[in-house]
Structure 1
Amino acid sequence: MSKSSYNSRPKYILIPLFGMGLFVVLYILASLNYPGGSWNDVNHKGFSFWNNYLCDLLDKYAINGALNSGRYYARAALGVLCLSLLFLWLNLHKLVTESINTKIMTYSGVLALLTTFFLASNTHDIIVRISGVFGVVAILSLTVEQFKMHYIKLGLLGVTCIVIFLINYYVYETGFYLKCLPIIQKFTFAAFMVWFSILNAMLYCKSDKV
């Protein structure tokens, strides 16, 4: 790979990668400013990595009843993440062969991300279910395309993400091993962000300056 070829690639393609990094930074700030309380211990001081959900940081009031000053960071993080992944999803068709399935992948992914914007509203459970349905369709469609393009390892990573997501959703809906859900949720986020980061890197490597 020549240096000129590397320099010719548009850097804006890496917006999702930078957005995911900023999401992590903002969520750390949100957790540091969270007053306290979790579903296992209302009186716990500050944010508990093991017992608090990421969504707890979005609420106006913390679980202990105090005003949550960390919500501004968390809501900014959510907006940054959704916008970054929206940009990524609108460009993922460039990595696969155009087909009806590709269109389904794009539209369902966009709808999932647009729905997720409203996660900080008072309709949290409904938003999770709606965005979850669109998200599963989008992810399954993308994974199918990856296997069709012989991206076997990437496809297997996609399958892993889907399985983890479904476990997360099953626990959320049934309450089975609910105490483990905060950790499962964070592990789910981490797995998807690794997958998306690889996809963004691939998109960047295949991009050319127009």
Structure 2
Amino acid sequence: MDDKPANGRSGGWKQDPAGVRKNILSVAMAEFAANGLSGARIDEIAAKTNTSKRMIYYYFGDKERLYERVLEEAYREVRAGEQELELDHLPPVEALKLLAEFTFDHHSRHPDFIRIVMIENIHHGAYLERSELIRPLNAGAIQKLEAICRRGREAGLFRKDVTPLQLHWHISAMSFFNVSNRTTFSHIFGTDLFMGDGQEALKRQMVEMVVGLALKPERR
């Protein structure tokens, strides 16, 4: 078996291994999201990348390890986006609003992330459990909310009986459902909520609910 990429472009992996790995992960993300772990095929992934099947095995070992790396990359991307928000420089209410808005928008723009998480739930979190990166990577999401909540409580704004983990659950749940159930919801109730104005309204309402939950009743 030679090292010629499936698309006929040879030698690219030698000059840019990081770029090739990124390309493989991007293509694999789409394939796993569309077909699941069992349905995705390395031959199909290789045919759509800038490299060869041999090099996919060289970089990632086997299909299960490639799927695990895709899962890690999906979580890394959302956590990296949160990091770029620089929430520590904002008042606590504004920081919470911005984080909730970011999550809603990120999930809406990255439906493959939602599908990968759904697929991992089908596998009972087995590959997430195997990963040494995902749990510590996602701890950062709770740490950011802990910092926001601490500042909100110190300012006399936030309740003490609503935890950062609970807020994360509510933000994730509404942002996730917006994508995961879009097809069935649209078939039953129509597509108005998933058009531009509908999405903006849902995002605004989600943010209002999350902030309202965090605030003391007298601060609402």
Larger Rg: 2
Normalized per residue, the structure richer in helix is 2
Q: Highest relative contact order (Cα 8 Å, sep 6+), 1 or 2?
A: 1
TM-score of the superposed pair, with normalisation by structure 1: 0.29
TM-score of the superposed pair, with normalisation by structure 2: 0.28
